Amino acid sequence: MADAVLRVEGLLKRFGGVTATDRLNMSVVPGEIQALIGPNGAGKTTLIQQLSGALRADDGKIFFDGRDITRTSLHQRVHLGMARSYQITSIFRGSTVVHNLALAVLARNGSSLRFWRPLAREQELFDTALALADQVGLAGRENVVAGALAHGEQRQLEVGLALATRARLLLLDEPMAGLGPEESQRMITLIEKLKGTITLLLVEHDMDAVFRLADRISVLDSGRIIATGAPEVIRNDTEVKRAYLGEESAAP
Amino acid sequence: MRNRMVIGTLVLLLAFPLAAKHWDQLFYVSFASRILIYAVAASSLNLILGYGGMVSFGHAAFLGIGAYTVAILMEQGVSSAWVSWPLAVGVSALFALAIGAISLRTRGVYFIMITLAFAQMVYYLLISLRAYGGEDGLNLAERSQVGFGLSLANDLTFYYAVLALGVACLYLLRRLLNARFGQVVQAIRDNETRMEAIGFPTYRYKLICFVLAGGVAGLAGALLANQSGFVSPNLLQWTQSGTLMVMVILGGVGYLYGGALGAALFLVLEEVLSAYTLHWQLGLGLVLLAIVLYAHRGVAGLFDGRAAARRGADG
Amino acid sequence: MAVLILEQTLNGLQFGLMLFLMAAGLTLVFGIMDLINLAHGSLYMIGAYLVAAVVQATGSFLLAVVAAMMGTAAIGVLLEVSVLRRLYTRDHLSQVLATFALLLICNEVVRLIFGSQPVMLGMPAALAGPVQLLPGFSYPAFRLAVIGVGLAVAALLYVLVGRTRVGMWVRAGASNREMAAAMGIDVKLLFTAVFAVGAALCALAGAMLGPILAVQVGMGESILILAFVVIVIGGIGSIRGALVGALLVGMVDTVGRAFVPMLLRSFVSPAVASGVGPALASIAIYVLMAAVLFWRPQGLFPARA
């Protein structure tokens, strides 16, 4: 079996009396799209927070490409090759699309402790940003101020920012959140195109997207992974069905 | 259009002392020097407050530290500007490093409070320095020496020196804001979480920004010490930090010339109002309240249709 | 020596309890309305001036205190309805500047009415003398009364906030404003009421401290900073935090000022000790605040979720 790009061992996180992450074990195989599904309150966001480094686990370990990153800071993990997109859009609303992406490109492009030369002159940076805009389906919208974009376009930019970091593992937190049918299709196509080039851990509620995109599905319930496997296997798993009882997978 | 206004102002600033001298109104030259010095101080605060999003309520501390560095050195016999002014910048920057390193670990109102606390600490520290005047302050024997046959004791010479430094500071500020560093700092102000999530060590950038602002404020302090010939712990009172913030908001938070405009407006208002009444602070309070409630983008904001300080130092 | 320690401890307790009166209102306003109010010290000043004026007019300290509390509460409500209400949704910088403006305005208005010279506020005659607490130790009766008033208010607030329905609303508002509004609590009225109570407490503090310190323009500024330090240490939005924080700050400040120079003299020369001593004492509470912020950024008893 190929070496896991991400391996989680015994991850534990408690908030007061609540155990959000309950000695969780998980691994992500390189090149795959792995989906993480689970009912509300299962602890998906908390898990993503710990994987990305926004939250420090109480116990357990996280390995990225074999390297222990449990204590590594959020921004350092990006430099190691892991980036995240947010469920609630977190972009730079006052700046244009190309400026948004340029900032993300800038982060992995040498030191920004430069005080003299105008950023606007760095053509290579902006060329890369423009290419990224095209890749996430925002060609032609580069000079629109991000706050003025449609919701679907903002979600595309959201993924674009994570992509711009040249990450090898992307943690996508509900990229479909709030998207209509047409926009969802666009997002699915976008993610499909990424398959093979990078590894993706996709947290999603939209079952349609999950079963179309995922090579493998992990099911999270009450802070633990209760099942992992190919989509068809998961679809028929009784425990999974029980966990979702009353939680109809509402595809929009 | 904006460039023409800037050039026009510059010409005015260059020509005005000669006119003042001609009409024997040298007081205004001294007053203008004071405005320019506060323009630099307020601009340094604008960097961290307007462009960096860090609401520091202790900025007067760096002004005071710079001033005291020059005064203390002069007391010890060191009067060369080439030594004491860079040292003023350096010492202020060092304090900014120490204060910023701790304060920037906090956010929001806690940051405001802790910067205030540190300024108070420096204030009390300076009061305790009996050897350097303590509560009463310290006089400077003379203005700093610059050599080259020039004397800063001459108000005109001093004015032009301050003008040169002020213009240089604003120019460097403008370049900084358009360069990688300035763009990153502004993006951090807009969305710090995301900046971290795309790989920027945001704490480091904020700290460097804070140190730069502290250093520049130190320079302003050195000039202030020269201008008034006197330093006292009152320079570091929290109300002075408040005054600097008022200047920035009057002029326009996050606009390149916001600090300068605000300083000019504030000091002119103070001068004009206090000629009419002892209670001029009442007028100031009302103006300030009106601005915060109704024109919170300040004077510079009135000239600008779109939202403030988006992509850099457009003016 | 023991007498000195006892005396300073009581002084610290007295000062701390008065700080609590200031901090209680401030922490509730901050916790519930998320409003940084630099004009809080001005209410304290107005309260003290009103007491002085009414005492002069009627000769009765008690009447003056009641009148001042009501008057200051009224002024507080006026400020809240006319200006402060517009700041609730604004950012902290705007709040700082707007309330700073109010501070300037209040100072000048008071100066216009009463002049720049400090105003005399004498202690009520009945409490002017000392009381013997222990053989060989007497303490001013007025200061004992101040401690009594402070403890009574603390107990009252504890009951009010902890045990009544209104108190529950206040606590709900402090921990989560949106939820409180969603639960049907009349948020606007609650805000105004909280502000009025805070203002009245400021006036009470002004009445109690006026005879001890001095009644003059600007008296609010120095105590305001201490009040902010108290609520930061105690935890924003928490009355309990305000009490603990206030006692801590009051003690450290008073005892520090009394003993640090003395202690220093065992280590350095008297000249240096008398120079650096008071500075260190003044700095002590700020160091305390910085330390608390560093290790427990939310304060000792955070009310917010």
Confidence of residue A242 (pLDDT cuts 50, 70, 90): confident
> What is the pLDDT, as a whole number, of residue B315?
34
A35/B306: higher pLDDT: A35
> What is the pLDDT, as a whole number, of residue A45?
87
Flag if B205 and A74 touch (Cβ within 8 Å): no
CB within 8 Å of B76: residues ≥ 6 apart: none
> What is the pLDDT, as a whole number, of residue B289?
92
Determine, yes or no, domain membership for B269. Answer: no
Q: Does B50 touch chain A (CB under 8 A)?
A: no
> What is the pLDDT, as a whole number, of residue B1?
62
Considering only CB atoms, which chain C residues are within 8 Å of B57?
96
Q: What is the mean pLDDT of residues B253-280?
A: 89
Q: Which two tokens stand for residue B25?
A: 């109104």
Residue to substitute from A92, A95, A103, A105, interface B, most B β-carbons within 10 A: A103
Q: What is the mean pLDDT of residues C3-9?
A: 85
Q: Does B181 touch chain A (CB under 8 A)?
A: yes
Confidence of residue C1 (pLDDT cuts 50, 70, 90): confident
> What is the pLDDT, as a whole number, of residue A90?
94
**pLDDT of B307 over the 60 cut:** no
Confidence of residue C304 (pLDDT cuts 50, 70, 90): low
CB C60 within 8 A of CB C115: no
> What is the pLDDT, as a whole number, of residue C174?
67
B49/C119: higher pLDDT: B49
Determine, yes or no, domain membership for B16. Answer: no
Task: Convert the pLDDT of each residue in C207-221 to its tens digit.
Answer: 989 888 888 888 898
Task: Convert the pLDDT of each residue in B195-206 to its tens digit.
Answer: 999 999 999 999
**pLDDT of B153 over the 60 cut:** yes
Output the average pLDDT for chain B.
89
The chains found to touch A (3+ Cβ pairs under 8 angstroms) are B
Find residue A36's DSSP bridge partners: A203, A218
Flag if A107 and B200 touch (Cβ within 8 Å): yes
Determine, yes or no, domain membership for B144. Answer: yes
Flag if C105 and B286 touch (Cβ within 8 Å): yes
Instruction: Determine the structural domain holding residue B34 and report its residue range.
Output: 27-237
Q: Which two tokens stand for residue B75?
A: 């007391």
Flag if C111 and B279 touch (Cβ within 8 Å): yes
Global pTM?
Answer: 0.89
**pLDDT of A251 over the 60 cut:** no
- Domains in chain A (CATH in brackets) are 6-81+167-243 (3.40.50.300)
Q: Looking at chain B, which residue has its C-alpha nearest residue C101?
A: B285
Cα–Cα distances in Å, from A174 out to A51, A74, A86? 15, 20, 7
**pLDDT of B302 over the 70 cut:** yes
Determine, yes or no, domain membership for B194. Answer: yes
> What is the pLDDT, as a whole number, of residue B92?
97
Window 75-94 of B, Cβ < 8 Å to C: none
- How far is B191 from A96, CA to CA, in rounded Å? 14
**pLDDT of C40 over the 90 cut:** yes
Q: Does B310 touch chain A (CB under 8 A)?
A: yes
Q: What is the mean pLDDT of residues C169-195?
A: 77
Confidence of residue B106 (pLDDT cuts 50, 70, 90): confident
CB within 8 Å of B93: residues ≥ 6 apart: B211, B212, B214, B215, B218
Q: Which two tokens stand for residue C163?
A: 């045990």
Taking one residue from B and the other from C, the number of pairs with CB-CB distance under 8 angstroms is 115
Phi, psi for A15 (deg, rounded to 5):
-120, 100
> What is the pLDDT, as a whole number, of residue C172?
75
Query: Which one-letter amino acid corresponds to residue A14?
Result: R
Q: What is the mean pLDDT of residues B62-71?
A: 96
> What is the pLDDT, as a whole number, of residue B305?
57
Q: Does B184 touch chain A (CB under 8 A)?
A: yes
- Complex ipTM value: 0.89
Residue to substitute from B171, B181, B193, B194, interface A, most A β-carbons within 10 A: B194
Highest mean pLDDT among A103-112, B135-144, B202-211, C223-232: B202-211
Percent of chain B's residues with pLDDT above 90: 59
> What is the pLDDT, as a whole number, of residue C273?
72
The total of structural domains in chain B comes to 1
- How far is B246 from B288, CA to CA, in rounded Å? 7
> What is the pLDDT, as a whole number, of residue B314?
39
B188/B109: higher pLDDT: B188
**pLDDT of B81 over the 60 cut:** yes
**pLDDT of B311 over the 50 cut:** no
Highest mean pLDDT among A51-55, B209-213, C271-275: B209-213
Task: Convert the pLDDT of each residue in A60-72 to its tens digit.
Answer: 999 999 899 999 9
Determine, yes or no, domain membership for B10. Answer: no
Topology, domain C12-295: ABC transporter involved in vitamin B12 uptake, BtuC (1.10.3470)
Determine, yes or no, domain membership for B252. Answer: no
Q: Which two tokens stand for residue B8?
A: 């026009």
Determine, yes or no, domain membership for B302. Answer: no
- How far is B187 from A96, CA to CA, in rounded Å? 12
Q: What is the mean pLDDT of residues A146-175?
A: 93
Considering only CB atoms, which chain B residues are within 8 Å of C109?
282
